[in-house]
Amino acid sequence: MKYTIDTNTNITDIINKLKDNDELFFKRGKYHLKLSLKQNNLKITGEGMFNTIIYNDDHYHKIMSDYNECNTFRTYTLEILGDNCTIGDICITNTCDSKTYGQAVALNVYGNNFLANNIMLKSEQDTLFTGPLPADLVLRYKDFLPDLTYKNKPSKQTYLNSIIIGDVDFIFGGATALFENCQIIMLNNRGYVAAPSHAKELKYGYLFNECNFIAVNNDSNFYLARPWRDYGLAYFINSNYSPNILEEGFNKWNDTNRDKTCRFYEYNKLDYNRIYFLNKLTKEDAISYVKEFKKYLKETA
């Protein structure tokens, strides 16, 4: 079933009867919504990332109906729990000021085989969470987060031709996720793009391939990544960086020893003087890895 939605639609009625394989088409306009969707094979589309905007403003310290703080993982504007879902031609944003109110997620994705094409994701701190949760947080939040069974399974995700905007750790989590031909836009004065938390046994983590990393402020300083947990895994291949990316490129995460466990790799035509724990790839290694990564994404579990 395909549902066409405009700004006068009662979206609650549609969500209550939504089933697997349904499609939500949002006409151009702004929609103040907070959606958590469990259905499989959903398709969510709009009339362009600059024309169709779904927004909300929950933040970490907001007190929710259960009298607890919202917590990072409940701040989402849109949450995808089902498998084989796609999103296209739409903007998902969290309009909260993270500098004042803390973490504010635009999109949570826990489902497997997720595809986003030509979308915009916008917030400040923690814009995009790519599940699963780290194992320690699964234990910590077992009585706090709803639908936790959805949030502790491997996930493959693909983001193509999209814009992702934020400042601190604004692409984070433990999914196997490809970002290709994306614009990664860095807000404010300082921050970190990616904060991976991949399990030790996971062979494929984040891959940024042929992306553009662009800073809004000329005097800002950014790192490409820091490991949110031990063994965080990220490859940066054939990407373009604004001068605001610090020469060392990567950070070990505060007072930790994650420089000894994290797995960060890079191939670039320019020879940057990167931090000591960054692994540099040859052109041949980079080509081979991209090919293997994409093959893995297509494999069925």
- Mean pLDDT of all residues belonging to the chain: 96
Question: Is residue 274 domain-resident?
Answer: yes
Give the pLDDT of residue 300: 73
Question: Is residue 20 domain-resident?
Answer: no
Arithmetic mean of pLDDT, 171-190 = 97
DSSP 80: E
Arithmetic mean of pLDDT, 177-197 = 97
Question: Is residue 248 domain-resident?
Answer: yes
Give the pLDDT of residue 29: 98
Residue whose tokens read 């949760």: 133
Question: Is residue 194 domain-resident?
Answer: yes
CA distance 156 to 112: 5
Cβ neighbours, 10 Å, residue 65: 5
Give the pLDDT of residue 196: 98
Question: Is residue 15 domain-resident?
Answer: no
Question: Is residue 191 domain-resident?
Answer: yes
- For residue 269, what are the domain limits? 33-298
Give the pLDDT of residue 257: 97
Dihedral class, residue 135 (left if φ above 0, else alpha if ψ from -120 to 50, else beta): alpha
Local confidence band at 150 (pLDDT 50, 70, 90 cut-offs) = confident
pLDDT, tens digit (0-9, with 9 covering 90-100), for 228-277: 999 999 999 999 999 999 999 999 999 999 999 999 999 998 889 999 99
* Residue 301: pLDDT over 70: no
Give the pLDDT of residue 152: 86
pLDDT, tens digit (0-9, with 9 covering 90-100), for 93-149: 999 988 888 899 999 999 999 999 999 999 999 999 999 999 999 999 988 998 887
Q: Residue 184 is part of a domain; what is its CATH number?
A: 2.160.20.10
Question: Is residue 23 domain-resident?
Answer: no
Q: How many domains is the chain built from?
A: 1
DSSP 243: T
